[in-house]
A and B are shown apart, each in its own frame.
Chain A
Amino acid sequence: MGERRKGLTDTQVGILLIIPGLAIFIAVILFPFVDAIRMSFTDKSMLMPDWDYIGLNNYRDVFNDPYFLKTVGTTAAFVLASTALPFILGLIWALLLNQGFKGSEFLRGVTLVNWIIPGTAIGFLWSWIFNGQYGVLNGIIKMLGGEGNTAWLGQTSTALICVVIARTWQMLPWYMAFLLGGLQGVELDQIEAARIDGAGNWKCFTKIVVPSMKNIIYLILAMGLVGNLQHFDLPWTMVQGGPARATTTLSLEVYNTAFKNWDMGKAATIGTVWALLLACFSIVYLKQVKDSD
């Protein structure tokens, strides 16, 4: 300590230690983010090197687009369903695996396989399952005596559900792993005491297990919501936002606007609105992290 006083103070050392991380943060996150916000006020196109500031025109165009609200609605539906469904199924699966029956460790390992498969591969796999002409699902329906000619990915009523199912299959292990970790931290003596007092399974679950896991549940729900709000792979590889925009989420809209319509300014505008929505969930997540500390 004595030697350090001759050289750098604790504060100075701290600042020096922060600088590399801060530099990377500024270069990789802050600058692109600020630049994207700046770009949202321009008419920048991928095709033309010249651009001008056009004020709030992009924002006006985005909010006047008759399909923008529909896109926000589709995004909300996708995010909520793709978070709730794997969470519930992951919780049930975690509860089962937590019973410690023979083979539960093997099953836990096998379940994680879904999670490590790349998103695009999962997208193609489920596209094949749901394909209207040669899909596995229609094949099974035919075997059972049905017509089996439904274009699951070609109907507005079913396309989003198909994507949510694929996303659930992909993310279930992630929820399961976190929830299983949470379950293993629940105090067993509390449950035993409750059982002695006459509590049934449901009461033990709702009054002891869930409250004990409250923090982890909040955390994974917040992370799940943010992850799904950012998600791109499955809606793109399976349906590319169609049919009739039924699966067009904000992430696809940004991609299409930037790389199909070449309109970087408008894409940055949608991205900025999207980032604001993401920020709402991120605040919940950060608050939860802070509380759990």
Chain B
Amino acid sequence: MKKERMATLGLGVVMMGTALFGGATVQAEEQTNIVWAGWSGEEEASKPIFERMMNAYREQTGDEVTWVGFTWADAAQQLLIRCQGGEQLDISQADISIFNTLVQANVLADWNDIVGEDFMKDTFEESYLEVGNIDGKQYGMPWTMAAITMVYNPEILSAAGWDEPPVTLDEFEQCMADIKAYDSEIIPYALSTKDVTCGADFVPWAWTFGGGIWDEDGNTIINNEAGVKALDWYCDMLNKGYVTMDVGRSEARQMFAQGKVAFYDDAVVAKSQVISNGVAPDDVVNVCAAMLRPVKNEGDKPQAVQWGGMLVVYKNSEYKEQAAELAKVLNSDEIALDYFINGGMPPVTKSAANTDTVKNDPYINSFIESTATARLEETARMTNANEIKTILTEEIQFALLGQKTSQEALDDAAARIGSAN
């Protein structure tokens, strides 16, 4: 009896083992499952596009891909924690603001070693490759390059008596006053006043006034006269009700898509939010168009921030080849144009950028014109970019809420940035 019981138990264990491990082995031999991480696939507007991207990869390669997503604000630490914790991470998106952090953490592999330098040069424009190249290593494969500039709602401006967007700061202020008079429920300018986007968006305005965070010699100049004037101007806009507190990029995007905001700062992704709110892709330009950032004096250079999304592959990945296949699928004409038409992301490959679909698109043309003079973020090559932007955000908030003067706030910001360096 005892022997029988033992035999039955042994058989059961063997069967379970076969089912669990044998099955898994067969599956593992047939199919590789790579992990793709990022934040864009978490945004409601982009989810269907990302699903199509992954389905295309599955169909073309027969392999599996698993999406791991988080918010943009949490992306850098989540990617690092995943890497350092030894969890599977094969490929991820990385925009300019977190790219250098990942490079410094020494977790990325060189694309040239995986797909070859010739492929990279044949596929992408040199200027796009430069963004993802650090010290001769091609850590970033271009995916969606654009810039952060200002977008506006032409219908609201027209209703307020403006057929063209304002060019100078004086015109901009007048336009905001007219919008406020036209409909007090509309926020004229959904300026970011919270999270790191507040600090990030302040910098192009500081440039507009002639300032910046650092000068060419690396001295902190955020608290110079130009910076203080820019922050005074922020406070003035808040006092006049043109901007409001407790607005970040995501709130601005959502309210803009609903027609409750006339201006805000964003990249080309603004389009996907508008489309997800029910506007047909062809009609987007009626309610969402890019404009040059207003300048202090007519003839000044309009400021915009270079922004770009790259694909990065991880040094510890066992499936770099498969990750490269996914990257190629994502940059294929079919998928890139789908992302462009439905998500507004301009393609970066030479072939897709030269299609009529891209060249004749009025939305992207307005972006290309307005971002021709875009500059890299001053913190783009720093590992503590987030810390610097957080310091700026906090000190700008102190000034906006009247707890410090603009000069005091920026003096404190300069001191803190100096310590952070």
Contacts and interface: CB of A to CB of B under 8 A. Distances in A.
A75 interface: no
Q: Which residue of A49, A133, A156, A259 has the most chain B CB atoms within 10 A of its CB atom?
A: A133
B393 interface: yes
Interface stretch (B114-122, B135-143, B384-392): B384-392
Interface string A277-292: 0000000000000000
A256 B393 CA distance: 14
A152 B187 CA distance: 17
A132 B245 contact: yes
Contact of B403 (A156, A242, A259, A261): A156
| B interface residue count range (under 10 / 10 to 19 / 20 to 34 / 35 or more) | 20 to 34
Given A154-B193, A242-B393, A260-B77, A133 B251 contact: yes
Interface string B2-40: 000000000000000000000000000000000000000
Contact of B77 (A48, A151, A243, A259): A259
Q: Which residue of A49, A154, A156 has the most chain B CB atoms within 10 A of its CB atom?
A: A154
A245 interface: yes
Interface in B74-96: 77, 80-81, 84
Nearest to B187: A133
B253 interface: no
A91 interface: no
Contact of B384 (A66, A240, A243, A261): A261
B398 interface: yes
B247 interface: yes
A158 B124 CA distance: 50
B103 to A, nearest CB: 10
Contact of A47 (B104, B193, B195, B390): B104
A153 B397 CA distance: 12
Contacts of A240: 194-195
A259 B73 CA distance: 11
A244 interface: yes
B147 interface: no
Interface in A127-153: 131-134, 149, 151-153
A46 B403 contact: no
A190 interface: no
Interface in A100-138: 131-134
B84 A242 contact: no
A281 to B, nearest CB: 29
B194 A242 contact: yes
B246 A153 contact: yes
Q: Which residue of A47, A66, A151 has the most chain B CB atoms within 10 A of its CB atom?
A: A47
Contacts of B246: 131-133, 151-154, 243
Contact of A151 (B84, B245, B387): B245
Contacts of A46: 77, 80, 84, 105
B249 interface: no
Contacts of A66: 412
B397 A244 contact: yes
A134 B245 CA distance: 13
B188 to A, nearest CB: 13
B260 interface: yes
B308 to A, nearest CB: 21
A47 B105 contact: yes
Contacts of B106: 49
B101 interface: yes
Contacts of A260: 77, 386-387, 390
A240 B195 CA distance: 8
Interface in A56-70: 66
* CB-based closest 8 A-B pairs: A154-B245, A154-B246, A244-B397, A259-B77, A151-B245, A151-B246, A261-B387, A243-B397
Interface of B: 77, 80-81, 84, 101, 104-106, 187, 193-195, 244-247, 251, 255, 260, 383-384, 386-387, 390, 393-394, 397-398, 400-401, 403, 412, 420
Interface of A: 46-49, 66, 131-134, 149, 151-156, 240, 242-245, 256, 259-262
20 contacts: A46-B77, A46-B84, A46-B105, A47-B101, A49-B106, A132-B245, A133-B244, A149-B244, A151-B244, A152-B246, A155-B245, A155-B401, A156-B401, A240-B194, A242-B393, A242-B394, A245-B394, A260-B390, A261-B386, A261-B390
Given A46-B84, A156-B401, 12 more contacts: A46-B80, A48-B105, A132-B246, A133-B246, A133-B255, A153-B246, A154-B247, A155-B401, A243-B397, A244-B403, A260-B77, A261-B390
